[in-house]
Amino acid sequence: MSLISLVGVRKDFGIRTLFEDLTLHVGEKERLGLIGPNGAGKSTLLRVLAGLEPPGAGARRVLPQARIVLVSQEPELDPERTVLEQVFAESGEKIELLRRYTAVSDALAHAHGEGAAEGADDAALLAELGSLNARMDQSQAWGLEQQIREVLDRLGITDTQRRVGDLSGGYRKRLALAAALVADPDVLLLDEPTNHLDADCIQWLQGYLERFSGALVLITHDRYVLDQVTRRIVEVDRGEARSYSGNYAYYLARKAEEEAAAAATEAKFKGALRRELEWLKRGPKARSTKQKARIQRIEAMQEAPRRQLKGQISLASNQRRLGKRAIEAENLEVWATDDARTAGAPPLLRNFSYDFSPEDRVGIIGPNGSGKSTLLDLIAGRRQPHGGRLELGATVKLAYFDQHSEAVLGSGKALEKKVIDVVKEAASSVELDGSQLSASQLLERFLFPPAQQHQPVSKLSGGERRRLHLCRLLIEAPNVLLLDEPTNDLDVHTLTVLEDFLEDFRGCVVVVSHDRYFLDRTVDRLFSFENGELHRFEGNYSAYLERQAAQASGATTTTAGTATGNTGPSSGTPSPASGALAAGTIGQPPGPASSAPPAKVRRRSFKENRELAELETNLPAWEERRGALEAQLGSGGSDYAALEAVTHELSELLVRIERGEERWLELSELAG
């Protein structure tokens, strides 16, 4: 049974069509993920589902009395309410049941207080009270305040008496999410719910959504959440919505098959059209009906609409050479504010020393407010430390992709600048892969078509502005990248390309992120803010979680803090913090030295994982081809030229199989 149905829906904004003739049904206990490029209309589609945006054409049908809650990226809340009041007010049926139960109870108490005999009205009130009692048991409305406080605490909101108007945008988003979860609606529509959440909150939210009893429609860049929570993927792209019955991993497999098939079909079509055009160029005398029909077929082939293959964003590296020195930090100290330091509050960072090497891949993790962005601000020179020394190498060209685009794109009237002018401010052209690209051509690589390049920045979606921000930074050819929550507002496709770019980037990368998938793909060393201290861990985020789980279960581990000094790829000089780093905690005295440090486990890189996956696909196909060739040879035949060709192909194939098997064994022995 469908709770919400869209039938033949169209939505456009002027000359731009977001989707057309879209039919989508949201059934009971649905687990639906919406994906697609920034600006494709995912958020608009959620608003249409919620009934907050009217469709331009088609129909929206909703099951009567279905409770629908949307948590948008910029929720509208009452600024005069306190945090607790806001969640109570948005608790839907639960708060209404509590209010009605209180009113009925008061009415009964008032009637009996006057000493009146029990009458028909009392019987009706008692019956309603019994019904309310049962409904409140079913919806767990009795412990509403306790539920609210627990959900708020899990989402990192502890001051329940603060005014909503005093909260930051990230806190307001978390507050709206808390209210939606407590309301327990029939249909929950979530637009990027993991933005502004730290890793622990995201992990908790993932488990909550897996247990959620209603229908869920989700937009998120967090691919682990998308894969674990969803059971159907709807891709919104170029005015179409295509449905895939499976989770994100299933979608990726099907999408790869579809794109391969589409490329093959397009190649066959072009080959057929080329042959027909060659026939036409030979100048046949179009006298017969057969010849005229062939010419008409050629004209039809030329005019036939064909689905274009998906545009590919390109982040080809255009960077300056980086010398042996990247970033040197020694005994850094910083407080949240000067007043906090004067008042004797604990610092955000104390005695932090580390030499970032030219090819370091470092992730910074920790709870919200722990000081992660402050550390990036220090490196970027936007803040000065209260103590210690921080220096950049002489050849460093730094780019800071922060959480806000105002520093690059501007705000207010500045947003009326054309998209292409934003890029031209940095460079009118750039050399990439040996080719000279104009600003317009570069924007096309970032999926901004010519028509959109002359629109004002204010017309772009949040994700498109982030993509433009990234384009503007990379055109300046940096060799040190600071990325603060880079996955916020970027679509999954752009994130995948960014991850591939970072894999080949020959420079230093420092990432602050709560996106577990992104950290797994991009970093090989972590600094974690834990209980006011900064801990170091060698490995990616999944390995870090394994270590945390092992410690929580009482197991011992020696993975963290074994390296000393600067352990970057080109480093041979220990940093001033060698003793502190060996202990695993910055600012703490070193622990007892172990007699023999454990050998570091060699892990497969992303490229090696991809190579292993390709071999696991290719080896069976090669063996199948080998069998077919051997069968051809076994059947004999008198065409010696053909037999010689088969023999030659088989010889080359055997060498390829042997080398492939050796490489497969080599890669399989490495840790994944």
pLDDT at 87 over 70: yes
The mean-pLDDT minimum among 115-129, 259-273, 283-297 falls in: 283-297
pLDDT confidence bin for 409, thresholds 50/70/90: confident
Residue 50 has pLDDT above 60, yes or no: yes
Radius of gyration of the chain (CA): 31
Question: In this structure, is the dihedral angle defined by the CA atoms of residues 32, 33, 35 and 41, taken in order, positive or negative?
Answer: positive
Mean pLDDT of 411-440: 78
Whether 622 shows a pLDDT value over 80: the answer reads yes
Residue type, 216: L
Sorting pLDDT into bands at 50, 70 and 90, what band is 347? Answer: confident
Per-residue confidence (pLDDT) for residue 565, from 0 to 100: 39
At 492, the pLDDT band (50, 70, 90 cuts) reads confident
Structure confidence by residue, pLDDT tens digits, 68-82: 999 998 888 888 888
Characterize 587-599 residue by residue with b for buried, 16 or more Cβ atoms within 10 angstroms of its Cβ, and e for exposed.
Answer: beeeeeeeeeeee
3-state secondary structure at position 636: coil
pLDDT at 286: 47
Per-residue pLDDT, 580: 31
Confidence (pLDDT) at 595: 38
* pLDDT for 562: 40
Categorize the per-residue pLDDT at 83 as very low, low, confident or very high, splitting at 50, 70 and 90: confident
CB 321 within 8 A of CB 479: yes
Residue 310 above 60 pLDDT?
Answer: no
What pLDDT is recorded for position 440?
Answer: 86
Please report the pLDDT score of residue 526 as a whole number: 92
Q: Are 44 and 17 in contact (CB under 8 A)?
A: no
Tell me the CA distances in angstroms from 110 to 98, 107, 125, 396, one per residue in order.
18, 5, 12, 78
| Whether this model's pTM surpasses 0.75 | no
pLDDT over 90 percentage in the chain: 17
Q: What is the dihedral of CA 458, 459, 463, 464, to 10 degrees?
A: -100
Question: What mean pLDDT is predicted for residues 302-331?
Answer: 67
Q: Do residues 421 and 456 make contact, with C-beta atoms less than 8 angstroms apart?
A: no
Q: Which residue has the higher pLDDT, 288 or 101?
A: 101
Say yes or no to pLDDT of 646 above 60: yes
Residue range 267-278: average pLDDT?
70
Helix axes 492-504, 462-474, angle to 10 degrees: 20
Quote the pLDDT of residue 134.
Answer: 75
Find the length of the chain.
672
For 324-338, 369-383, 557-571, 652-666, which range has the lowest pLDDT when averaged over its residues?
557-571
CA pair distance 135, 146, nearest whole angstrom? 18
Residue 269, pLDDT > 90, answer: no
Find the mean pLDDT for residues 316-321: 64
Res 312: pLDDT: 56
Which pLDDT score, from 0 to 100, does residue 583 have?
32
Amino acid at 304: A
d(CA 39, CA 37): 6
Residue 166 CB neighbour total at 10 angstroms: 11
How confident is the model at residue 158, as a pLDDT?
Answer: 82
Cβ pair 173, 489 in contact under 8 A: no
User: What value does the mean pLDDT take over residues 115-143?
Assistant: 68
Above 90 in pLDDT, residue 483?
yes
Q: Which of 122-126, 312-316, 325-329 has the lowest mean pLDDT?
A: 312-316
Helices (H) and strands (E) in the chain, counts: 23, 20
Average pLDDT rounded to a whole number, residues 512-519: 90
Indicate if the pLDDT at residue 308 is higher than 60.
no
| Candidate from 263-277, 454-468, 620-634 with smallest mean pLDDT | 263-277
Mean pLDDT along residues 606-616? 78
pLDDT of residue 593: 37
The DSSP output letter for 646 is H
What integer is the mean pLDDT of 350-365?
89
- Residue 553 in tokens: 């279960």
Mean pLDDT of all residues in 530-555: 80
pLDDT value at residue 210: 93
Q: Give the integer Cα–Cα distance in Å for 222 and 514.
A: 9
Q: Which has more pLDDT, 268 or 192?
A: 192
What pLDDT is stored for residue 317 in this prediction?
58
Task: Give the confidence band of 587 by pLDDT, cuts at 50, 70, 90.
Answer: very low
- Residue 121 has what pLDDT? 65
The pLDDT value given to residue 594: 37
The answer to whether residue 582 scores a pLDDT higher than 70 is no
Mean pLDDT, the chain, rounded, equals 78
Per-residue pLDDT of 155-194, as tens digits, reads 888 888 888 888 877 788 889 999 999 888 999 999 999 9
Mean pLDDT of 319-326: 78
Cβ proximity of 507 and 343 under 8 Å: no
pLDDT of residue 590: 35
